[in-house]
Amino acid sequence: MDILKTHGFDLLKRLVPPQIIFTSFEEYHPPSAPEALSFGDPFFEHYFTTNPSSLETWDECCHAGAKGSLTDPIRIQNMDTFRLNVLATAKELGATKEQIARMSIHDAALLTGRITRHRLSYNHAMIGEPEKAFDNAMRNDPNAIQKVIVMGLEGKSPETSPEAQRIDQLPHDAIFAGGLGICRNYAQVNAAVYRVLKEWNPNLRNTYMTSYSLEDPDSSLALPHAWNMVSALIPDGINITFVDPTWFDTRSRTATGDPTKQDAHLSDEAAYNAYDPAHFRRGQHLAQGYVAQLFEFAADEHRLRLESGNPFATNADVITVYKARAFEQRLIQTQTLLALSQQAESEETRSAFRRRTAEALHLALCNILPVPPSVFVQYGPAETGYREPPPQMKEFFSLYEKIKQQDPTILSLEIRGPGDVAAVTIEQIYSRIPK
């Protein structure tokens, strides 16, 4: 039985992973389609429509081997009342249900943020004292990025207050009605409001708004933060932007209601936009890593061992194509990080970006070597099934020489990646690859 055709698509004929396009919210104007579009692979459909809290959470679901094992993160106790409250708030902002039904994707997403901003206020009581102290230290320390990286690597995170624990347990329509929250509550409520608008507007049929939290210690944001990802399925791929309803609120006024805010001059689109260096760092290298990771999860060889009736089952040809796309994306990320390491103003920051560069290149190689890099280094190509160099290896050789000329220190850093039994350097891996 052809598993791929069983699920209504034939990836053997169209081994082309979807193009994932990032756009700032100001420039986010994807076309709407009157008919439902297909993601092609159930992997992408499930990820973008079920709203898992993270890629790691979705990967656990994939390993469980059962579509639908994720619970809906949007918790609504009374949907009818919530719809009425959303519409009442929209009308306060000058938008009728008839107008909402005709809005473009951009305008509907913007109205969503305006509704959330109008109903919620930032609740400082939810921030615990250790979290506040950490926040202040990060804001006043020029070496904040290095400390954030260290904290992330050590698995540390600020504590939350009893008030935060209380509000976090509420259904999202209750948070909307109560009017208080912090970033994660803003993001969850925003996604819930968008879901209501989507019911009324056919232009939003192929779009999705989900909560998003960057699981990376190198984030520019000092504290753990949450915002939203807006995804639109378009004929040739997926168009993504990021919006931040918390900053949309606090950029235009302080939490105490003071209108004299430094960012008050920003347009609504600019204040709402979260695809920027403040969220994804310079060069958007964290967003590049996100796309690479998405394809790496899609290429998980566990999918080859799933039963034929499982929607995530696929074949080796599809896995190979996804790995190639992940490799390409990791090389893009590597070059971005290399440039950032050259531009760093302090040695600590430069050192951090050097390691990031080596890690990204190591992850790239994980996608085209037959075994984890440390195993490849230990046993060599003949013993690990390395028959002939994949076509992408030329791109690696070219980038290797570029790094060797610009900053050879990067090539001698010891990195331990997924599946590795020991830390190895890029130099060691390079030396074992037949030229």
pLDDT digits (tens, 9 = 90+) for 341-355: 998 888 988 998 999
Select, from the ranges 81-95, 145-159, 165-179, 375-389, the one with the highest average predicted confidence (pLDDT): 81-95
Longest dimension (CA), the chain: 70
Same domain, 324 and 271: no
Q: Is the residue at 126 inside a domain? A: yes
Q: What percent of the chain has pLDDT over 90?
A: 47
Same domain, 291 and 225: no
Mean pLDDT (the chain) is: 81
Of 195, 213, 196, 199, whose CA–CA distance to 52 is shortest?
A: 213
Q: Is the residue at 388 inside a domain? A: yes
Residues 107 and 421: their CA atoms lie apart, in Å, by 50
Q: Residue 303 carries which DSSP code?
A: G
Q: For 263-301, how does the pLDDT look when each residue is reduced to its tens digit (9 = 90+)?
A: 557 789 999 999 887 777 666 787 888 889 889 988 888
pTM: 0.76
Same domain, 415 and 400: yes
Q: Is 232 helix (H, G, I), strand (E, B) or coil?
A: strand
Same domain, 205 and 257: yes
User: From the CB of residue 167, how many other CB atoms can be counted at a distance below 10 Å?
Assistant: 20
Q: Is the residue at 270 inside a domain? A: yes
Domain containing 385 equals 285-432
Of 112, 245, 243, whose CA–CA distance to 183 is shortest?
A: 245
Q: For 353-367, how does the pLDDT look when each residue is reduced to its tens digit (9 = 90+)?
A: 999 999 999 999 999
pLDDT of residue 222: 43
Q: What angle (nearest 5°) sits at the alpha carbon of residue 286, between those of residues 296 and 41? A: 30
Is the pLDDT score of 414 beyond 50?
A: yes
Same domain, 271 and 296: no
Q: For 228-239, how does the pLDDT look when each residue is reduced to its tens digit (9 = 90+)?
A: 999 998 887 889
Residue 434 and residue 380 in contact, taking contact as beta carbons nearer than 8 Å:
no
Is the pLDDT score of 86 beyond 90?
A: yes
H or E segment at 353?
Answer: helix 347-366
Same domain, 360 and 253: no
Residues 126 and 159: their CA atoms lie apart, in Å, by 10
pLDDT of residue 2: 34
User: From the CB of residue 377, how many other CB atoms can be counted at a distance below 10 Å?
Assistant: 23
